[in-house]
Amino acid sequence: MKSNPERKLVKNYARAFAPATVSNIGPGFDLMGFPLFDLGDIVEVTVNDLSCSRITDIVGNTTLSKELEKNTAGAAVKSFLDKHAPGEFVDIVLHKLLPIGSGLGSSAASAVAAVVAVNALLSKPLEIKDLVEHALDGEVVASGTRHGDNVIPSLVGGVVVISDPVHFNYFKFDAPEDLIVLTFHPHVEIKTSEARAMLPKMVSVSDSIKQTAGAVTLITGMIKGDYTLLKAASSDFIAEPFRSKLIPGYHEIKFMASSSEAIAMNISGSGPTSFVFFRTLEDAGLFIPKIENVYDKIGLGIDINISKINNTGAQILEVR
Ligand code: HSE
């Protein structure tokens, strides 16, 4: 990098990780989410001396566009640099570790890792809350609408509740320490944009009352660590009735969950990944063969992951 006192980007290289997320959490459609451990995307950015930013490599995926504005990581970086370091550019390497169209907030994770990495190049990096708009500018490329329930939890960690979905104001709190989250990802791809298009335009008053009751109960249960109240995560009157039809085996597994040690189950984001809450690792382990049996019968591959809720969110891995 040439030395130039006008430059806003004072570091040359940064690498960041952003975690996968479970969004909606049942009754919190577009308003609630939390990140997981271990699963996520990594983005590297290196300052270049060209007149544009470029995606130079996407490791682990051959189908995503390398065109800057058609890629969630690229669009997020562009949005950030246009505002905070106009005229300065980076090369981007995306390590696409999450499956796309999985319901794990894959596009949000790429966008979040990208803005966290590029922010680390500034002499005075912005506060985390100021990165939200740029990560959303990236994620919208994939989902077609701006919704913050993947981007914000991936960025800030913990259980996130969006208090103002117009301006993306939010609050967050740490999840109950011992709560176990099992996610299973049947190998079908669901595009968020299509899963949103299939939702009803109107919700009845009675469904909206039930949805509000579920959301309030879930938040209270999360804050108090009251697992009985977390059962509310099983309810959703907006998306689950429609989207569950796209997920082979979903109803069978939800029925088994309701008669097991599981606390609650629902679809993660737009699916097909679904989450099940458990009190203990042992309970979660006992449920795994039941899920595997269902997908063996259907003849569909699955990935199963067990995690706690990640209260930290995205992280800078290296900056120099
Ligand atoms: N709240 C969004 C939806 C999340 O359900 O469409 C998508 O990951």
Strand partners of residue 182: 276, 306
| Residue 15, H or E segment | strand 13-23
169 & 62 share domain: yes
Rounded CA separation 218/179 (Å):
13
170 & 200 share domain: no
Domain for residue 201, yes or no? yes
Please indicate whether residue 270, judged by its CB atom, sits closer than 6 Å to ligand 1.
yes
Domain for residue 5, yes or no? no
212 & 240 share domain: yes
Please indicate whether residue 196, judged by its CB atom, sits closer than 6 Å to ligand 1.
yes
Domain for residue 57, yes or no? yes
pLDDT of residue 242: 96
Domain for residue 8, yes or no? no
pLDDT of residue 157: 98
Rounded CA separation 175/221 (Å):
10
63 & 136 share domain: yes
Q: Are 120 and 319 in contact (CB under 8 A)?
A: yes
Q: Supply the CATH number for residue 283's domain.
A: 3.30.70.890
Domain for residue 98, yes or no? yes
Which of 22, 24, 31 to mutate to test ligand 1, by most ligand atoms within 8 A of the CB atom?
24
Please indicate whether residue 30, judged by its CB atom, sits closer than 6 Å to ligand 1.
yes
Q: Look at ligand 1, atom 1, and give the residue with the nearest C-alpha.
A: 30
Please indicate whether residue 154, judged by its CB atom, sits closer than 6 Å to ligand 1.
no
Boundaries of domain holding 107: 13-174+310-319
73 & 114 share domain: yes
200 & 100 share domain: no
157 & 224 share domain: no
Q: Are 179 and 227 in contact (CB under 8 A)?
A: yes
30 Cα nearest atom in ligand 1: 1
pLDDT of residue 143: 84
Cα–Cα distances (Å) from 212 to 29, 99, 144, 205, 222, in that order, read 10, 31, 26, 10, 15
Spatial strand order of the sheet with 264-267 comes to: 264-267, 274-278, 180-186, 302-307
Question: % helix / strand / coil in the chain, to the nearest 5?
Answer: 35, 25, 40
Q: Supply the CATH number for residue 131's domain.
A: 3.30.230.10
144 & 222 share domain: no
Please indicate whether residue 101, judged by its CB atom, sits closer than 6 Å to ligand 1.
no
Backbone angles phi, psi at 232, to 5 degrees: -60, -20
By C-alpha distance, which of 212, 64, 77, 200 is closest to 134? 77
pLDDT of residue 193: 87
Query: CA-based Rg of the chain, rounded to a whole angstrom?
Result: 20
The contacts of residue 246 (CB under 8 Å, 6+ apart) are: 188, 190, 195, 271, 272
Residue type, 155: L
Domain for residue 251, yes or no? yes
Task: Give the chain's residues under pLDDT 70.
Answer: 1-5
By C-alpha distance, which of 91, 131, 93 is closest to 115? 131
Find where tokens 């939702």 sit. Answer: 199
150 & 222 share domain: no
Residues 211, 213, 215, 221, CA torsion sign: negative
Please indicate whether residue 139, judged by its CB atom, sits closer than 6 Å to ligand 1.
no
How many domains is the chain partitioned into structurally? 2
Domain for residue 226, yes or no? yes
Please indicate whether residue 107, judged by its CB atom, sits closer than 6 Å to ligand 1.
no
pLDDT of residue 145: 87
23 & 170 share domain: yes
Domain for residue 2, yes or no? no
Ligand 1 center to 142 CA (angstroms): 11
Please indicate whether residue 102, judged by its CB atom, sits closer than 6 Å to ligand 1.
no
239 & 265 share domain: yes
134 & 209 share domain: no
Rounded CA separation 233/226 (Å):
12
